[in-house]
């Protein structure tokens, strides 16, 4: 398959596309696309909404920030607005590849170590890079919403109404519940399903579709519960 066929196949013929990806694993094109879209997204956010507005919103929903004096809160806003853009770009350019590497290692341990399926790290890494392509649609929609809504109403942490968290009041809902509800997102589930399809395509008959989906979903479920717990502790 050509690269264009692979990219479109992930959306329209995922089994066929991932079979080809597993046979000839490459990852540069989807990875570069993800990084490029991420940089554009952060740049648009910086220009349209601004980091100071985001940090003030975070303070409004934080019980810890409520205990600070107005001077301390303002100091936190100014400092946060200064460093947030740096962390935003670093999070995209370094955080995304690093997360993919760690996630690939986890899946390799599950599939090869637990399920005894002889996949290679490069195959799994390529599967994850292509499975992340729905994120491009997510960012494109988020940018559109960013310019359709008032900057005051745009939430960088939850820009689209594709998860239960978007329907909750962030100021009154517990951080644990809000984090958990926000994690159960249509685009994340779409990506996880693609990962499962990719693992199945790469493994052939050595693993069932149910086993492949379990390998994709179980680590994610563990992660979102841990993340929600940390959000509740440090809120």
pLDDT at 74: 79
Burial of residue 128 (CB within 10 Å: 0-12, 13-18, 19+) is buried
pLDDT at 184: 94
Nearest CA to 22 among 207, 165, 151?
Answer: 207
pLDDT at 235: 65
Intervals of the chain under pLDDT 70: 61-63, 65-67, 235
pLDDT at 188: 96
Burial of residue 220 (CB within 10 Å: 0-12, 13-18, 19+) is middle
Contact in structure between 192 and 216 (CB atoms under 8 Å):
yes
Distance CA 86, CA 108 (A): 32
Long-range contacts of 45-48, Cβ-Cβ distance < 8 Å, separation of 24 or more: 45/88, 45/146, 45/154, 45/156, 46/85, 46/88, 48/146, 48/147, 48/151, 48/154
Q: Where are the alpha helices (DSSP H) in the chain?
A: 3-12, 14-23, 28-48, 51-60, 63-66, 70-90, 96-108, 121-131, 134-148, 175-183, 186-203, 209-233
| pTM of this structure | 0.90
Contact in structure between 216 and 195 (CB atoms under 8 Å):
yes
Give pLDDT tens digits for 63-106.
Answer: 676 667 777 777 877 887 788 889 999 999 999 999 999 999 99
Both tokens of residue 219? 């680590």
Could you give the dihedral angle defined by the CA atoms of residues 198, 202, 203 and 207, in that order, rounded to the nearest 10 degrees?
10
pLDDT at 84: 86
Which positions ≥6 away from 178 have C-beta within 8 Å? Answer: 165, 168, 170, 231
pLDDT at 155: 87
Distance CA 123, CA 200 (A): 12
Distance CA 81, CA 95 (A): 20
């Amino acid at each position: 398959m050509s690269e264009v066929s692979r990219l479109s196949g992930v959306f329209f013929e995922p089994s066929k596309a991932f079979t080809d990806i597993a046979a000839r694993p490459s990852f540069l094109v989807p990875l570069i696309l993800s990084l490029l879209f991420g940089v554009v997204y952060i740049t648009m956010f910086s220009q349209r909404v601004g980091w100071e507005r985001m940090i003030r919103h975070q303070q409004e929903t934080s019980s810890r920030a409520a205990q600070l004096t107005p001077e301390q809160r303002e100091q936190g806003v100014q400092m946060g607005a200064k460093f947030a853009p740096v962390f935003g770009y670093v999070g995209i350019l370094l955080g995304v590849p690093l997360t993919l590497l760690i996630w690939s290692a986890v899946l390799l341990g599950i599939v090869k170590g637990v399920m005894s399926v002889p996949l290679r790290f490069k195959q799994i890494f390529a599967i994850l890079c292509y499975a992340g392509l729905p994120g491009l649609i997510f960012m494109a929609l988020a940018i559109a919403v960013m310019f359709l809504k008032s900057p005051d109403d745009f939430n960088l942490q939850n820009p689209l109404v594709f998860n239960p968290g978007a329907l909750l009041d962030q100021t009154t809902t517990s951080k644990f519940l809000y984090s958990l509800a926000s994690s159960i997102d249509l685009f994340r589930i779409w990506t996880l399903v693609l990962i499962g399809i990719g693992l199945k395509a790469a493994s052939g008959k050595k693993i069932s579709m149910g086993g492949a989906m379990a390998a994709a979903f179980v680590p994610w479920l563990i992660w979102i519960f841990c993340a929600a717990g940390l959000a509740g502790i440090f809120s």
